[in-house]
A and B are shown apart, each in its own frame.
Chain A
Amino acid sequence: MNTKELIIEKVKEKFSESVEEISDFRDDLSITIKKDQIVNLGRFLKENSDLQFIMCKDVTAIDWATRKKRFTTVYHIYSFKLNYTLRLKSNIDDDPPTIETVSPIWPSANWYERETWDMYGIKFINHPDLRRMYMPEGFEHHPLKKDFPVLGIPGSLPLPNKAD
């Protein structure tokens, strides 16, 4: 059994109800899971002794703009035991978008989720410290959303007065 088959089997065994899609594109395995199971799946993948996905390399999101489930959060996790990077996805349909945090499982997700909050406005529930990462505090928008103009909203970011 190769690595991918092992992962698929283990995940299906336990989460057959909540897995929405498993895709294998150009040798990258992606598992789309129902939003409310993301924490359980993450914990399972980390703690299962055959898988041991102990490292979270990235958390980000996609704004689909016109889809009903407008946002998708994307997690890249890595297992040293299998030497394999797995992608998890979760579609979010509520507005404003929310999803449970995975930072208790992978502490590195703390800052990634802050970045995702900053850029997409996805609220990570129970996140220990959900502040903006890049944009100044007090900024009201989320710049990577599709409806945010590339050149920004005039006046939304303060500039110092002109020095004389």
Chain B
Amino acid sequence: MGLEAVLQKDGFLTTTIDAIVAWSRKSSVWPMPMGISCCAIEMIAAADPKYDIARFGSEVMRFSPRQSDLMIVAGTVTYKMAQVVRRIYDQMPEPKWVIAMGACTSSGGMYRSYSVVQGIDQFLPVDVYTAGCPPRPENLLNALMTIQEKISKTKARDFKNRSLAELEHSQN
């Protein structure tokens, strides 16, 4: 598909920097699996041969936030855990995206209680919310494709150019 065929035909192609940057970004979205509770199981299932998240270039689950582009928050976020989630999010390099997977992360879900954050959008910028308790792997893949669509519309300059001092500050 795609590149090889074009190159064999003409030997060159014309595009814009923005398009090629967006295309490469969206084709290798490395997730940070923030699997906090039961939804994590479906997130793991999305990586198995049946659903195969690798088809979308996202098979590389990075347990180091510094190597990841997309945080999949899969599970019930308590107030105590919120501090940790935010800290990990802050360590991810820009550009970065967030999927709120499942009812709990989107709205607190069935845990309408004192200990659970009623929606992680109170402290994280969420790109896609995924319905379900838990959402099926297809649903997560759908969220991922939505993110890809979103990325394909971005321009390279959309993301802040942060100074070194600022980056160091956010990583400490």
Contact = CB atoms under 8 A, between A and B. Distances in A.
Contact of B123 (A143, A148, A157, A162): A162
Interface in A111-164: 134-136, 143, 148-153, 157-164
Contact of B86 (A150, A151, A152, A160): A160
Interface stretch (B11-19, B114-122, B143-151): B114-122
A156 to B, nearest CB: 8
Interface stretch (B28-36, B48-56, B77-85): B77-85
B114 A148 contact: yes
Contact of A159 (B112, B113, B115, B123): B123
Contact of B114 (A150, A158, A160, A162): A150
What size tier do the contact residues of chain B reach? Answer: 10 to 19
What size tier do the contact residues of chain A reach? Answer: 10 to 19
Interface string B117-142: 10000111100000000000000000
Contacts of B83: 158, 160
Contacts of B112: 150-151
B59 interface: no
Interface in A41-70: none
Interface in B77-102: 79-80, 82-83, 86, 89-90
Nearest to B122: A159
B80 A135 contact: yes
Contacts of B113: 150-152
B114 A143 contact: yes
A133 to B, nearest CB: 11
A157 to B, nearest CB: 4
A152 B116 CA distance: 10
A22 B125 CA distance: 57
Given A151-B113, A152-B113, A152-B115, A163 B123 contact: yes
Nearest to A136: B80
21 contacts: A134-B115, A135-B115, A136-B79, A136-B80, A149-B114, A150-B112, A151-B112, A151-B114, A152-B113, A157-B80, A157-B115, A159-B79, A159-B82, A159-B117, A159-B122, A159-B123, A160-B83, A161-B123, A162-B124, A163-B86, A163-B125
